Amino acid sequence: MKKRLLAAALAATMVAASVTGCAQSGDAGSQGSGDAAGGDTVKIGGLAPLTGNVSVYGIATNNGIKLAVDEINKAGGVLGKKIEYVPYDEKGDAIEAVNAYNKLVQDDKVVALIGDVTSKPTIAVAQKAVKDGLPMITATGTAADITKAGDNVFRACFIDTYQGELMAAYAARKLNAKTAAIIYDNGDEYSTGVANAFEEAAKSEVITITNKEAYQSGAMDFKTQLTKIKASNPDVVMIPVYYSDVALIAVQAKDIGLKAKLLGADGWDGVLEKIDKSNQDAVKDCYFCSQYSAESTDPKLQDFLKKYKETYKADPTLFAVLGYDAMGMMAAAINKAGSTDSDKIISALKALEYKGLTGNTTFDENRNPVREAVITTITDGKYKFVENFKK
């Protein structure tokens, strides 16, 4: 009997643990404003995963957008009217996103859309938006296919390939690199995307790629690949992976005595927090690009970061910053168009020169942003802003 009780207790604990593990705190940002009376406002729709697996990104983006709306409305709104932002939670799911999109267009009659946040639902929504000709900006969807959907789809963030090209240019022009190696995660789209773009761009920058080494997602031993790279002694090693892998690779590179400079893309953001102080000298000679730097002295950005912290009691991330800029771009375009007509907004966006938190943005022919990236290095266990760089 005693044994059975013990077994039951254990089973109960197991169930409790797994249930708590999956519990999601649902916080669908309620945004309905009271003065939504007919034509007094300009309605802009929003799509973001506010609950579910990728809600971290959705909530941050949505929060950034809301701060932008507040600011724009305080300054007089657009076309003399206030912006009414109507966000829907799509839970990170493409089908939910399309349903929410239909609701935004048919019921809410929005004039433009900010969203979606992650790539897959954004692609689905973009395909619908093309048919309606609705102006849309995704703040953070990086997949190249998103803006290929049609003329009305824009994005505020860099695409993966742009970062690869940018770092190849930086290595050649600023670090005088003649040879480079690449190590990347072949199970991850972001990583392979940046790696391939870097390799391609290296050709035109006259950098010789000595090694292109892959590893499989979840690997923790990189010594074999690094030993191979060490043997060909390149000037730089491009490591376009996420920060927790960077932490492992950098420490092992130091262990085996690899001397090359380490390069990375925006996946490096947060790497210092994943390396213990005693190992931080492993990333002392590194350069990575990102879309903004919290160390930047731009008063507008500092003001935003402060306000975000006060309002949401959380640290602002890149997603929040891009959300803010996406809304800023859309508002600026509507003002410039002088009307809420879809075609006029789209032409205004194409010709837009927007000065936001991430710098001065224009759109290229694929409606991807062109602007300077921030190059960051790490010294004495701190991120340090190096310079703004544009290919």
Partner 1 sequence: MEFLSQVINGLGIGSIYALVALGYSMVYGIVQLINFAHGDIIMVGAYTVFVILVMMNLPLWLAVLGSILFCGVAGVLIERVAYRRLLVHAAPRISLLITAIGVSIFLQNLYQLLFGSDPKSMPKMFVFAPLQFGGVQLTSSTIINISVSVVMMAGLQLMVNKMKIGKAMRATSEDAGAAKLMGINTNTTIAFTFGIGSALAAVGAVLYCNTYPQIKPAMGGLLGLKAFVAAVLGGIGSIPGAMLGGYLLGVAESLTNAYISSNLTDAVVFGILIIVLLVKPTGLLGKNTREKV
* Residues binding partner 1 (CB under 8 A): 3, 6-7, 10, 13-14, 17-18, 20-21, 186, 213-216, 218, 220-221, 223-225, 227-228, 231, 244, 247-248, 251-252, 255-257, 273-279
The smaller minimum CB distance to partner 1, of residues 33 and 244, is found at 244
The separation between the first and the last C-alpha atoms of the chain, rounded to the nearest angstrom, is 73
- Taking the complex as a whole, the smallest distance from the CB of residue 73 to partner 1 amounts, in Å, to 36
DSSP string, 142-210: --THHHHT-TTEEESSPPHHHHHHHHHHHHHHTS--SEEEEEEETT-HHHHHHHHHHHHHHHHTT-EEE
* Interatomic CA distance for residues 231 and 233, integer angstroms: 5
Our CB check for partner 1 shows the closer of 75 and 231 to be 231
Residue 6 burial by CB count (10 A; 0-12/13-18/19+): exposed, middle or buried? exposed
The CA distance from 49 to 91, in Å, is 4
Q: What angle do CA 58, 63, 65 make, to 5 degrees?
A: 95
Q: How many residues are present in the chain?
A: 391
Question: Smallest distance from the beta carbon of 319 to partner 1, in angstroms?
Answer: 17
| Closest alpha carbon to 329 in 98, 114, 16, 19 | 114
Give me the least distance between CB of 4 and partner 1, in Å please.
9
Q: Least distance to partner 1 from the beta carbon of 228, Å?
A: 6
Measured from the CB of residue 140, what is the shortest distance to partner 1 in angstroms? 20
- Rounded to the nearest whole angstrom, what is the least distance from the CB of residue 281 to partner 1 in the complex? 10
Helix, strand or coil, per DSSP, at residue 313 = coil
Please list, residue by residue across 180-206, b when 16 or more beta carbons sit within 10 angstroms of its beta carbon and e when fewer do: bbbbbbeebebbbbbbbbbbebbeebe
The least CB distance from residue 359 to partner 1, in Å, is 30
Q: What is the closest distance, in whole angstroms, from the C-beta atom of residue 220 to partner 1 in the complex?
A: 4
> In this structure, are residues 76 and 36 in contact, taking their beta carbons and an 8 Å threshold?
no
**Residue 284: CB minimum distance to partner 1, A:** 15
Sheet (strand 236-238) strand order: 208-215, 179-185, 236-238, 261-264, 286-290, 373-379, 382-389
Closest to partner 1 by CB, 154 or 243: 243
Those residues whose C-beta lies under 8 Å from the C-beta of residue 108, and which sit 6 or more positions away, are: 43, 45, 86
Between 128 and 274, CB nearer to partner 1: 274
**Cα(208)–Cα(295) distance, rounded to whole angstroms?**
33
Min separation Cβ 254 and partner 1, Å: 10
Beta bridge partners of 86: 45
How far is the C-alpha of 137 from the C-alpha of 154, rounded, in Å?
A: 5
143 versus 249: smaller Cβ distance to partner 1: 249
CA distance 171 to 389: 11
